[in-house]
Amino acid sequence: MTILDGKKVSSEIKLQVIKEIKVLKKKTGKVPGLSVVIVGENKASKVYVKSKDKMASELGIKSNVIEFDENISSVELIKKIKELNEDGEVNGVLVQLPLPKKFNTWEVLTNINPDKDVDCFLPTNLGMILLNRANIFPCTPAGILKIFDYYNINVSGMNACVIGRSFIVGKPIAAMLTNRNATVTICHSKTKNLADHLKRADLIVSAIGKPGFISEDMVKQGSVLIDVGINYIIKKDDVYEHCDELQIKKFERKGYAITGDIHKNAYKKSLYYTPVPGGVGPMTVTMLMYNTLQLFKKKQDLLK
């Protein structure tokens, strides 16, 4: 069993992005620009936005966080998005979710110019994945494929089981793995006998959100286990059940710990696995930066 070290892969990609931005800056005099829009006071969202802003700056991306009070109207919010759509220095526009309840999220998001849809949430960009013509992918699935590339994991011919059918993870990764010649089964809350599907899988991508749900007996010997779940646990028993010593020590300091969907005992049967934390998680924000760079490059090509 080999750990797929998302921190390491993420660092490598960040170095590549930094390097490429330097070269492009010399060549064009410009750097990629990312605008992150946040509305309201959701604490978790603020933390995410801050980390995105920080990483962008570190990588040489011109980052711009636009904070709005919850009282802003839909019309004003959309007006701002349209301004960002027109701004030649902005390559990626991201609206931090969730928006406060009064907003129609779909209406807001679909006002982003698809060429600046750095999260890859818009229909035209998701459709390009189905068509196997995409050059941008949602961050989490994109990060998973980068991990495969780094560790030379060829999924062609594998039986892959994706658990979860969201448009953010499940459905795009299913199409992306299909495009890479895996035979993909998409499981979800209405799937009967999930364990039977899992036991046959050479590759499992789990985006369930239940701590340690996938047990040792549900996975095949020699499988690849990719864990997208980030589950917060606060009960001591749960932490001892799911976490390693390092996490337990953290728990004793902080009062909470993080674990994935896949039980640590299942790791033993795997050929490769992504730990939680330190697997898929560190890839996500990095891929946002990578996507910003891709959109920048695409725009430069168009301008030539």
Catalytic residue ranges: 52, 96, 119
3-state class (DSSP) for residue 157: coil
Q: DSSP H helical segments within the chain, as ranges?
A: 6-28, 43-59, 74-86, 105-109, 123-130, 139-150, 170-179, 194-199, 236-242, 245-254, 264-267, 281-303
Q: Which of 26, 192, 253, 304 binds a second copy (CB under 8 A)?
A: 192
**Residue placing its CB nearer to a second copy in the complex, 57 or 124:** 124
User: At its nearest, how many Å lie between a second copy and the CB of residue 148?
Assistant: 16
Instruction: Examine residue 298 and tell whether it contacts a second copy (CB under 8 A).
Output: no
Q: Which of 186, 204, 258, 289 binds a second copy (CB under 8 A)?
A: 186
> How many amino acids of this chain bind a second copy (CB under 8 A)?
34
CB of 223 closer than 8 Å to CB of 202: yes
User: At its nearest, how many Å lie between a second copy and the CB of residue 94?
Assistant: 18
Q: Which of 19, 71, 127, 154 binds a second copy (CB under 8 A)?
A: 127
3-state class (DSSP) for residue 229: coil
User: At its nearest, how many Å lie between a second copy and the CB of residue 184?
Assistant: 5
Strand duo 62-68 + 33-39: pairing: parallel
User: At its nearest, how many Å lie between a second copy and the CB of residue 228?
Assistant: 17
Report how far apart, in Å, the C-alpha atoms of 89 and of each of 80, 292, 298, 300 are. Answer: 15, 12, 13, 11
**Residue placing its CB nearer to a second copy in the complex, 42 or 179:** 179
User: What residues between 107 and 126 interact with a second copy by CB under 8 A?
Assistant: 122-126
| Strand stretches in the chain, DSSP E | 2-3, 33-39, 62-68, 92-95, 159-163, 183-187, 203-206, 223-227, 231-233, 257-259, 270-273
Distance CA 263, CA 192 (A): 21
Instruction: Examine residue 171 and tell whether it contacts a second copy (CB under 8 A).
Output: yes
3-state class (DSSP) for residue 47: helix
Instruction: Examine residue 159 and tell whether it contacts a second copy (CB under 8 A).
Output: yes
User: At its nearest, how many Å lie between a second copy and the CB of residue 6?
Assistant: 25
CB-count exposure of residue 71 (10 Å: 0-12, 13-18, 19+): exposed
**Residue placing its CB nearer to a second copy in the complex, 203 or 289:** 203
Instruction: Examine residue 184 and tell whether it contacts a second copy (CB under 8 A).
Output: yes
Instruction: Examine residue 157 and tell whether it contacts a second copy (CB under 8 A).
Output: yes
Residues in touch with a second copy (CB under 8 A): 106, 122-133, 156-157, 159, 165, 167, 171-172, 174-175, 178, 181, 183-188, 190-192, 197
